[in-house]
Amino acid sequence: MTKPFAPSAERNTAPILAVLRDALAELHSVLEVGSGTGQHAVAFARALPHLHWTTADQRAHHPGIRMWLDDAALPNTAGPLPLEIGVDAFPAGPFDAVYTANTLHYMPWPAVEALMAAMRGLLRPAGLLVVYGPFREGGQFVSPNDEDFDASLRVGAAYRGLRDVEAVEALAAAAGLQRVATHKMPADNRCLIWRRKETL
């Protein structure tokens, strides 16, 4: 098997790292939901050695993730844990942070709901949820490219599509999370950060 490589992950690593470097500076444990190829896990764990980075994804992605983790041989990575939302139980928390990139628009909406609801158990009080990806805002696409991307997603599977940031925000609030940062990223993406309230 050839080690998987996602050009998009290569492109967005630096801008995401710039956000994580500050946001996760005082934290220690991170669960990555939807680790994909494993590129982000290796890049971020190498750049932020104070973090213990746990990967998780559907089993089909595990061989590629293991190749990235094994080749890097970093002492602060773990996994991949099996996580197909709706099939597998969420990993045992709590973690200081949960990170997920380019996942919500590929999941069925019930899986997005389940992921956000799981933050009550995954995050310690005051823990952070970091979500990177494209979103609609106010029911509108933020760029023509996003509209085209959304259409291509739905051709692949009808349940896919860019999520309304307001709908995700409502799920976060219901799970006891409060938005603390919104970063505009290259290619019309967003990096959204929520903090779990100290008491629910």
Closest CA to 124 of 150, 94, 99, 83: 94
Domain boundaries, the chain: 7-196
**Please, are residues 164 and 135 in contact by the beta-carbon 8 Å criterion?**
yes
pLDDT band at 1 (very low <50, low <70, confident <90, very high): confident
Residue range 134-165, pLDDT digits in tens: 999 999 999 999 999 999 999 989 999 999 99
Write down the residue that tokens 């950060």 correspond to: 193
Looking at residue 61, what DSSP letter applies? G
Q: Which CATH class is domain 7-196?
A: alpha beta
Residue range 120-135, pLDDT digits in tens: 999 999 999 999 999 9
Strands 95-101 and 177-184, bridge-based pairing? unpaired
Residue range 93-117, pLDDT digits in tens: 899 999 999 999 999 999 999 999 9
Looking at residue 198, what DSSP letter applies? S
